Structure 1
């Protein structure tokens, strides 16, 4: 592989890793480890499915369909693409993901060093930097890939290796069954929002690859896929390491705040230097994600409104809304996020999986629409369940749907919907 191509792949791969690796990706794995203990490998596999494999599949689905999420959505229905794209951008943008990055940076990166600092000022400083760097989208990928990510990876790798070589405590026997550990890891992976982000980030990476001269389909696809694989390898190492650190932390309080858990683990391993290292990791991880997400929101909505609303105006609006919500704190944002994610995730996973598995052989739209309708119904039922709108008897009835009690009820209905759509179209 020529030197220039290798350099471009490293830049794009590290940029994609940093885009994915934000607040939730650093906070969620340690608590999973605390909960599952000796079953950490099973939880790691499950978390890797929704946090790594499915996001990589999301990138593949966009590549197979064209250059952006709109091309992917249009494989099913133009109107569905607009509606689904809007919901995704709101979730990974100003409603959940971006505010969470600022709140996490404050709780882990600033509060331990400045206990009296008001979250208002911490978030304000965070979003000023985000706005300045996101306002010029052409520079986003290179700034993240060349400068911010290498520092982040070095710091995380050092912390994880110390925890592996010299664990605080031995693994304790898990109170969870293997299936419960798998379900926990799988569902917690929803909170990374990476499957939702992958179908948007794919367009950013493809555009960056084309800007570097990879304009034909073959070279563009090759560079994007290798870059995605590089980011997946980095994520696997970091997620697995953080889950293991949680499992060997000696902490048994599963009600501990996620940010406090991360601070305690890093302090136990490296003392004051650990606190400094995790603070820097959090700042870099959250900043890179916030920049890329803000840029993606700006591009999406400016194009949706046919440039009648400019990119800069959307970016400013996104930043202001995110700033207002970020002051609520990490745990409140994460708890708020569960219901909308329980609704949207099955739909996006269904779209991504079926396009990758059957997109080259089945061109008709009916099977994909059937699968998405089925997943939407299950997603709605899951949303109502989380909101407490169902009685216990209704929930027991719904649990007859395969895997519904593990929040994976969309799997079998989506297969049935896909099959019915295929047969109806054929007839």
Structure 2
């Protein structure tokens, strides 16, 4: 059964009204707050379940919670039990989704019009309810950790219909952009059977292939330090890599979570701010007469060109209100995939805008789904997923823009080369 349908059965109108009376608040506001918490928490659980440790943590919390949905009417009538129920939910929330509560409570407070203190209280109650419902689902369907993760992944579409007017904020606050397009159940490692021996046998083979640890003079302790040294080197290397990635994205570092909708930060200087943008239009015509290469190919071939340049992905579009690429997109997508194979160090960021979403889908959600569908095309063409970043920015209209310029909702894809 759909998780949100199960939650609806538990959180009846009478239950919601009882919570409202206890907190001297309007039932409508309590309902809005609980709906927002339900969508946000389930979104957070889906994200958490996308890795093995998170998947197991959620399963254990659901399996071991002492509460069940049937107890809720009694719990709400007993102050001591209600406090225990709320405290348990807050503990689970901080354990499973650390750092989640503050930002989501702030978002729910603005959305529902409730006080922040009430939102904080409702977060614990909502978490306990959700975990107790998951406990019931696990018992009825005899789920293991992987099955529960798959079940959570199936809730992605339903999540977007609960509070569609809040989807954009949930996507950014919870950080579930990539999960809206695809979700893969992490596979738990199989336990290894250790053969009987006079001494313990390592579960994994040594890093030094062909070297007998017993006879090499390294010994177990020394070998452990060798492994630790390799780990340190790997961590340092990863740090250098991500730091260099940070350096390569000067345009995007100027955009925080609240202003992701800013329209043209990915582009070259804004055409709307120019009285006559004749130089930009004239520049590409010079090489066009001497070469048939695309602007992106010409750019990558120029070793002196600085990294970070962005190009509009011409002829790449989707069918209205869908994530289905138009037939005309196949050639330019394949051409870029071939270009990335030719330049194996190049890394790109795809940025999508959409203005054709129809309710309950929002333009933000549609742009996210589209950009990850496009990323999947490159992965299927043989490009490593780590070389293709993706971001959906809705219509591109910035509500905080005070320049007075006319902002037009966009429907386009941009390709930024964060690394050459």
More helix by share: 1
More strand by share: 2
TM-score by length of 2: 0.27
Q: Which has the higher contact order (CA 8 A, sep 6+)?
A: 1
Greater Rg by CA: 2
